[in-house]
Amino acid sequence: MADPRAPLELSYGPHRDQRIELFSPSTTHGHPPLALLIHGGYWRDRYGADLMHPMARDLASRGWKVANIEYRRLGESLTSGWPEIFEDIDSAAEAVAEMELNLGTEETPVTRRVVVIGHSAGGQLALYLARRGSVGHRFVDGVVALAPVADLVAAAHEKLSGGAATLLMGGTPEALPERYRLCSPALFAPLGRPQLLVHGTADVNVPISQTLSYRRVARDGGDRVELITDAPLTGPAADTEDGASGVRLTSLPFDHFDVIDPGAEVWEPIRDWLQNG
């Protein structure tokens, strides 16, 4: 018997990785919200969309439509991520938008809210996608970046994950400054829409400095940015306006993969933001 929780698949290109997993909400009352998920893995093909399955199923059980995006990645398919990875993210979003237009029926209601959620390298891609402002005809209402690689220049200089950012972009920031300006959230912020950033202070995969660098630029540009972390911020990151820093602290520390585990404590404030943010 087929698993009733198994997603449907939508292809948006000829390559096997150009596909979207569609999770239907367990209940549909009115117009359900839509979450576009983008997985991480430092843009490499050793990691795939299955990383987001627990999150996708949790959101679907709470009434969300979920589009879990797979895309071509560094490895067998690509030696450089530019421009293919970014083209895939754009094309996947357009495919979801077209599906929404075609399936806007009583049985499959149109969406009332669109949120883009990305983890790690997928957090960078989620911020990139949200920068567009819309998915097809539909305005992006918010973005959740979970332990994002949000500063590609710093990631390249620090050679995070063996120089993954340089491989993604096809060269260094010094050689390709305009390309980095187009793709690095810390350079193209602000986005002009609400954002939730989630990052643990002891993350050994992506340093929290990535999120704090981006957060500073986005807030300086006028964006409404909330941060969930596990310890009080110090130094320049601890800035406040009128005593309100937009920072929520968890009672327990959390790591790079807790942020995609709906059973982890950190997911309670994330759910709250998705519901009310």
Residues 6+ away with beta carbon under 8 Å from 74: 42, 43, 44, 45, 80, 81, 164, 167, 168
Q: Where are the domains of the chain?
A: 8-276
Euclidean distance between CA atoms 255 and 242, whole angstroms: 30
pLDDT in tens, 181-212: 999 999 999 999 999 999 999 899 999 999 99
Can you name the residues that pair with 226 across neighbouring β-strands?
Answer: 196
Per run of 10 residues, the mean pLDDT along the chain (length 277 residues) is 70 98 86 95 98 98 96 94 97 91 54 91 98 72 98 99 98 98 97 97 96 97 97 74 72 97 97 91
pLDDT in tens, 92-125: 999 998 888 775 544 454 667 999 999 999 999 9
Contact call for residues 71 and 39 (beta carbons, < 8 A): no
CATH of 8-276 given 3.40.50.720, 3.40.50.1820, 3.40.250.10, 3.30.420.40: 3.40.50.1820
